[in-house]
Amino acid sequence: MTQGQSCREAFVEASSFLEKCGVYEPHNNARLLLEHVLGVYGAQYYMMQPEPFPSELRSRWEDAVTRKAAGEPAQYIIGSQEFYGLPFEVTPAVLIPRPETELLVEAVLREADRVFAGGGAVHAVDIGTGSGAIAVTMATLRPQWQVGAGDISAAALQVAARNAAANGVQIDFREGDLLAPFAGARVDILVSNPPYIPAADIAGLQPEVRDHEPRTALDGGPDGLAPYRVMLEQLALLPAPPQIVGFELGQGQARDVAALLESAGHWPEIIIVPDLAGIERHVLGVRTSEQVT
C-alpha cells in the first residue's frame, strides 16, 4: 500500500493483489475487509471511497489483506458472519454459517407452524450447532419454543453460547456426539447441518475451507452419510421420534438421505428442498399429530 492512497485506490490495489493470489471472489473479499477495517457499511462505505485512507489503520488493513491472501476466510479475519439477519461471532472453532442453511430454517419453521398449529410446548434441538446459527435463529423467531443445541466440540459450544447471549435467547447447550447428549429428552423437532463431505473429497475442497474450517464439521465419513445414519440409530435414545426432522446435506446426497428417513418409518411425509441454485440441499421428514401411530 502506497502513502496517500484514497480508500478506493486501496480497495482496487487489494482486489488486484487477492486476484493474483488466486483468492476466490477477490473483489467481494476486499470490500468485506475494507468495510471492517474502516468500520463503515452501506452508504457510508461509498461516501468514504474518495477520502484518503486513514494512516492509523494502514497496518491493520495490510494485515487483513495479507491474511486473506494466505487463504484465511474473511469471516474469521472479521470475526463475524450474518445469518438470517442476526449477527454471529465466528472463530476457527466453528463452521462459517452459509446462506443456504437459512432455507433449512425456513422449511423447518414452515412445517412446524403446520404440525404444531394447535399450540402447546415445542422442544427443538440443533445437532452439530457450531456457531449456534440454527438454534439461535429458531429461538429468536419462535421464542415460545424450548430450544437445545449440541456439539462434540467444547470450543464450538463456547462460541455458540456467546452468540445466544448476544442475541438475547436462552438455549440448552450440551456437549457430546450428535444426539447422545439429549438421551431421554423430549425432542419434537430435530434439525442438523452435520458434516457431510466424504472423507476422500476433503483434500479437493477450496483451500480456505480445507485448511481453515474445523475438520470435525466437514468429515462425514467414507460416503458423507455417517452422521445421518448415527442420528437415526440414536433416535432409540429418545422417548419418541421427533415429529419433524430437517437435515442439510451435500450435492447428490438428497435421495440417499431421503431413503434413510423413509426406511426409518417414522415420517409419512418426506420433503426435499432445493437451494437457490436448484441443488437438492435439504431433506425433511414430517409426521403430523394425526399421523402419530
- Distance separating alpha carbons of residues 102 and 107, to the nearest angstrom: 9
**Helix 226-234 with 254-264: angle, nearest 10 deg:** 20
The dihedral over CA atoms of 261, 262, 266, 267, expressed in degrees to the nearest 10, equals 90
SS (H, E, C) 128-189: CCCCCHHHHHHHHHCCCCEEEEEECCHHHHHHHHHHHHHCCCCCEEEECCCCHHHCCCCCCE
Say if residues 129 and 160 touch (Cβ distance below 8 Å). Answer: yes
- Distance separating alpha carbons of residues 131 and 69, to the nearest angstrom: 25
What pLDDT shows up at residue 291? 61
What pLDDT shows up at residue 2? 65
Q: Which of 41-55, 110-124, 147-161 has the highest mean pLDDT?
A: 147-161
What pLDDT shows up at residue 223? 86
Residue 293 has pLDDT above 60, yes or no: no
- Distance separating alpha carbons of residues 125 and 222, to the nearest angstrom: 26
pLDDT level of residue 203 (50, 70, 90 thresholds): confident
What pLDDT shows up at residue 290? 67
Q: How far is CA 82 from CA 1, 131, 159, in A?
A: 29, 11, 14
What pLDDT shows up at residue 88? 97
What pLDDT shows up at residue 197? 85
Query: What is the mean pLDDT of the segment spanning 95-99?
Result: 93
- Distance separating alpha carbons of residues 61 and 77, to the nearest angstrom: 11
Query: What is the mean pLDDT of the segment spanning 87-96?
Result: 95
Does the CA dihedral 148-122-190-98 come out positive or negative?
A: negative
Say if residues 271 and 281 touch (Cβ distance below 8 Å). Answer: no
Query: What is the mean pLDDT of the segment spanning 283-293?
Result: 80
What pLDDT shows up at residue 198? 81
What pLDDT shows up at residue 108? 98
- Distance separating alpha carbons of residues 226 and 228, to the nearest angstrom: 6
pLDDT in tens, 31-79: 999 999 999 988 999 999 999 999 999 999 999 999 999 999 999 999 9
CA 147 to chain centre: 17
Pairing mode, strands 244-248 and 86-89: unpaired
**Percent of the chain scoring above 90 in pLDDT:** 84
Does the CA dihedral 169-180-272-111 come out positive or negative?
A: negative
Neighbours of 275 (CB within 10 A): 18
Average model confidence (pLDDT) across the chain: 93
Q: Greater confidence, 96 or 1?
A: 96
The dihedral over CA atoms of 190, 192, 194, 197, expressed in degrees to the nearest 10, equals 110
pLDDT level of residue 210 (50, 70, 90 thresholds): confident
Q: Greater confidence, 119 or 27?
A: 27
